[in-house]
Amino acid sequence: MELAIIIAVVVVALVFDYTNGFHDAANAIATSVSTGALTPRIALAMAAVMNFVGAFLGQKVAQTVSDTIDPGTGTPGLVIVMAGLVGAITWNMITWYYGLPSSSSHALIGGLVGAALAAGATANWSVVLEKVVIPMLLSPLVAFSLGFGVMIAIMWIFRNAHPAKANRGFKVAQTISAGAMALGHGLQDAQKTMGVIFLALLTGGIVTESDPLPLWVILAAATAISLGTWSGGWRIMRTLGRRIIALDPPRGFAAESVAASVLYTTAYVFEAPISTTHTITSAVMGVGATKRLSAVRWGVARSILTAWVLTFPAAGLAAALTYWFIALFLP
C-alpha cells in the first residue's frame, strides 16, 4: 500500500512538473515571439530543449524544496506531500485559465506548507522565510530595477545606431537571451519537482537524507517539464508579450538577459527557489518603464500582483482541503 502511494505521489509530482512547463513556457519565449525574433514553434522547441538541459545543471534548489517541511514518515507523510502537490496544481490551473502569470514555485511551497499545517506536521519556517519569502519579495524588485537600468544603458550605448539595423541585431541577440532564460527556467523549476519527489522517497523510506538525488528522478523531472513547455502556454504568453507592454527587440533582449541573470544567481549563490514568472514579469515592467511610466499597462500589472499575493494562501488552502478530504479515508 505504501509503495502504491509513493508511486502515486511521484506521478502527481510529474503532472505538476508538466503543468509547470506549459504554465511557465511563456516566461522564456513570450518576449521573443512578441517582438518577432522567433516564431512560436521554433521558440517552443528551443525552450523545451533548454528546459531539459537546465534540469541537469544543479541540485541545490531541489535540496531547499525538500527541506521546507518535515512530513514525518509512512503513509501520513506521503499524503501530506500528495495534498501539497494537488494544491499547487489546482492553483496553476486556475491562474492558467485566466491567463495570469502566477508562480508555480510559490504555489508548490504554499501547497506543501498548507498541507503540513492541516496535518499538524512541521513546516521549517526558517527555510521558508530565508530561502522562499525573502527572495520572493526581493527578486521582483531587483529584476525591475536591473531591467530599467540595463535598458537605459542600451538606449545610451546605441543612441546613434540606425533603428532598423539595431532592431535586426537585437532580434538575433534575443535568440541567445531567450535560450538563457529557458535554461534558467529548467535549472530552477525542474529542480523543484526533483525536491518534492526526493521528499516523497525520503518519507517512504526509499532513500536516506544523505543519499544523492537518483538519476531517474532528474531524467523524469527534466522530461516532464520539457514536454509541458512544448505543449505551450498561449494564454499567459499573450499577457507577458503584449498585455503588459508592447515590447521591441532591445527591450525584449534586456528583459530576458536580466531575468536569466537573476535566476542563475539565486540558484547557484543563494540556493533559493525563486519564481521565474515574477522575475521575467518584473523585468518586462522595468524595461517598459523606460519608455514612460504610462507605457506599462498598470491595470494588467495590478491583476498579476493580486495573483502573486494570493498564490501562497490559495495553494495552501487548496492543499489543506485536499489533505482533510484524503484523511477521511485513512485508517
End-to-end CA distance of the chain, in Å?
Answer: 12
Q: Contact, 184 vs 267, CB < 8 A?
A: yes
Predicted local distance difference test score (pLDDT) of residue 158: 94
Helix axes 191-203, 104-119, angle to 10 degrees: 20
Predicted local distance difference test score (pLDDT) of residue 48: 86
CA distances from 99 to 1, 175, 188, 241, 246 (A): 39, 25, 22, 12, 17
Predicted local distance difference test score (pLDDT) of residue 244: 54
How far is Cα 174 from Cα 35, in angstroms, rounded to an integer?
A: 9
Predicted local distance difference test score (pLDDT) of residue 223: 94
Copy the grid coordinates of residue 312. Answer: 501562497
Q: Contact, 254 vs 116, CB < 8 A?
A: no
What's the pTM?
0.86
Instruction: List all residues 6 or more positions away from 248 whose beta carbon is below 8 Å from its beta carbon.
Output: 35, 167, 170
How far is Cα 245 from Cα 281, in angstroms, rounded to an integer?
A: 10
Predicted local distance difference test score (pLDDT) of residue 170: 93
- Backbone conformation region of residue 36, classed left if phi is above 0, alpha if psi is from -120 to 50, else beta: left
Question: Which portions of the chain are predicted below pLDDT 70?
Answer: 25-28, 101, 232-246, 294-298, 300-301, 304
Predicted local distance difference test score (pLDDT) of residue 103: 81
How far is Cα 225 from Cα 51, in angstroms, rounded to an integer?
A: 7
Predicted local distance difference test score (pLDDT) of residue 145: 96
How far is Cα 299 from Cα 301, in angstroms, rounded to an integer?
A: 5
Predicted local distance difference test score (pLDDT) of residue 77: 93
Amino acid letter for position 49: V
Predicted local distance difference test score (pLDDT) of residue 14: 94
